[in-house]
């Protein structure tokens, strides 16, 4: 069952879909198409004859008739979700929209971030998903003035600094902690 923290994080992306694009580009180094149109899409997929599967949030870059890219945003506070479900989301959305798909997993917990940062074997030969994971160590210290706009300000900050990605572990960063100038309540 989703928690208040889960629902709050999803609402941040729902209120400002561009936030997912900024996190992927600015914090995680993901290349995305340059398009001014960023919109929400239905987060329920169906691959008949199976049941509906529902992601936390789907954001689409580009106009409805010809989307350029889609982002599945998932909030994972622990390791309870089978990572293969993330691969299913990406495949179902790719089939539905006929465009490239990135899965962004936001994990307030470092262990969950490590878990979902591993390449995901989908069970389909040749299809492995590498989700983009934003963990607590990936959110840079907030040092700009309160009026400044930075993706980390919206997601919240747990006192962690950016961490370089080690070789062979593209989805998670490791390193030392830094302290933010403002508390989490001041950020949110």
Other Cβ atoms closer than 10 A to 14: 16
pLDDT at 51: 67
pLDDT of residue 35: 87
Cβ neighbours, 10 Å, residue 2: 12
pLDDT tens per residue, range 8-40: 998 989 999 999 999 999 989 989 998 888 988
At residue 180, the pLDDT reads 34
Residue 45 CB-density burial (10 A; 0-12 exposed, 13-18 middle, 19+ buried): buried
Domains of the chain from N-terminus onward: 4-139 (3.40.1350)
Q: What is the pLDDT of residue 155?
A: 55
Q: Which pTM was predicted? A: 0.67
pLDDT on residue 107: 96
H or E, element range at 11: helix 4-15
- pLDDT value at residue 140: 78
What integer pLDDT is reported at residue 115 of this predicted model?
97
Write a three-state SS string for 35-49.
CCCEEEECCEEECCC
Q: Give the model's pLDDT for residue 182.
A: 35
Please tell me the distance from the alpha carbon of residue 5 to that of residue 115, in angstroms, as a whole number.
19
Give the three-state DSSP class for 71.
strand
Which residues does the chain have with pLDDT short of 70?
1, 45-51, 144-188
pLDDT at 102: 97
């Amino acid at each position: 069952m989703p928690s208040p923290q889960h629902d709050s994080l999803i609402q941040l992306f729902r209120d400002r879909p561009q936030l997912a694009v900024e996190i992927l580009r600015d914090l995680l180094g993901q290349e995305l198409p340059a398009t001014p149109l960023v919109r929400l899409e239905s987060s329920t997929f169906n691959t008949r004859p199976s049941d509906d599967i529902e992601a936390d949030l789907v954001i689409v870059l580009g106009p409805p008739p010809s989307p350029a890219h889609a982002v599945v945003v998932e909030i994972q506070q622990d390791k309870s979700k089978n990572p293969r479900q993330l691969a299913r989301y990406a495949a179902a959305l790719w089939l539905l929209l006929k465009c490239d798909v990135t899965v962004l997993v936001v994990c307030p917990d470092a262990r969950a971030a490590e878990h979902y940062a591993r390449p995901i074997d989908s069970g389909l030969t040749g299809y492995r998903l590498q989700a983009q994971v934003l963990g607590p160590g990936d959110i840079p210290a907030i040092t700009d003035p309160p009026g400044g706009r930075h993706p980390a300000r919206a997601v919240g900050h747990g006192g962690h600094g950016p961490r370089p990605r080690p070789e062979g572990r593209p989805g998670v960063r490791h390193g030392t902690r830094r302290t933010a100038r403002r508390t989490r309540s001041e950020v949110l």
